[in-house]
A and B are shown apart, each in its own frame.
Chain A
């Protein structure tokens, strides 16, 4: 499934990375705990689903080589976060849906958990 299809499923908006919307996503990890994200080994075409919208969640993606991020509950993305994400060729999608609802929609659509 492409990141664009995911965006449509969760009625999301693209914050940055418009040019990578045709990239495929193979699995999802949902967490607000960045230390947990930093333990992930298999991050190829992984989407991070999180309610934590701050500079450290972007930094965590940078260090973990995670390119795709879906922010739930319509949390604000600052200019600083956007710039850092763009520097790292990231795609950020934002949805108004909750973490549980978003997870349910994506799981139902066939996207597996990372483990």
Chain B
């Protein structure tokens, strides 16, 4: 099953609504609470990243019997140095993002900690794509 959600950059009111829908969906099909939590924590961080840094993005959720694959594809400034962005404490977040309780350079490391497989590609001036997979067992 495939679901696509649209996210607008700067829309802090709705940041997290996709993660919320995915959480409900995973709970409904009986995925264990631990795996639901790690999946939605990773997704929520990534969704907030689109709102915080990009102009817009699409989140495609591919739900299979034994795993969930989530692809977050955004149009935005891109990440010049992914290794640096993965370092704890490194952040380029605005004051507005910090006021929301984010922007401490913990997002990408936290996404990594909560996903079984993570792949990040980015092109400066175009955007970033994050692909994460979590297995249900």
Of B15-23, B60-68, B69-77, the one contacting chain A is: B15-23
User: How many residues belonging to B are interface residues under a CB distance threshold of 8 Å?
Assistant: 23
Which applies to chain B's interface (DSSP): helix, strand, loop or mixed? helix
Name A15-48 residues within 8 Å CB distance of B. 32-39
Q: Which of B13, B37, B102 contacts A34 (CB 8 A)?
A: B102
Cβ of A54: which chain B residues have Cβ within 8 Å of it?
A: 100-101
Complex Cα spacing A6 to B62, Å: 43
Which applies to chain A's interface (DSSP): helix, strand, loop or mixed? helix
Q: In the complex, how many angstroms separate the beta carbon of B130 from the nearest chain A beta carbon?
A: 16
Residue A7 at the chain B interface, CB threshold 8 Å: no
Q: Are A56 and B110 also in contact (CB < 8 A) when A35-B45, A62-B16, A63-B23 are? A: no
Q: In the complex, how many angstroms separate the beta carbon of A71 from the nearest chain B beta carbon?
A: 13
Name B4-62 residues within 8 Å CB distance of A. 12-13, 15-16, 19-20, 23, 33, 37, 40-41, 44-45, 48
**Interface residues, chain A, CB within 8 Å of chain B?**
32-39, 52, 54-57, 59-60, 62-65, 80
**Interface residues, chain B, CB within 8 Å of chain A?**
12-13, 15-16, 19-20, 23, 33, 37, 40-41, 44-45, 48, 100-104, 106-107, 110, 113
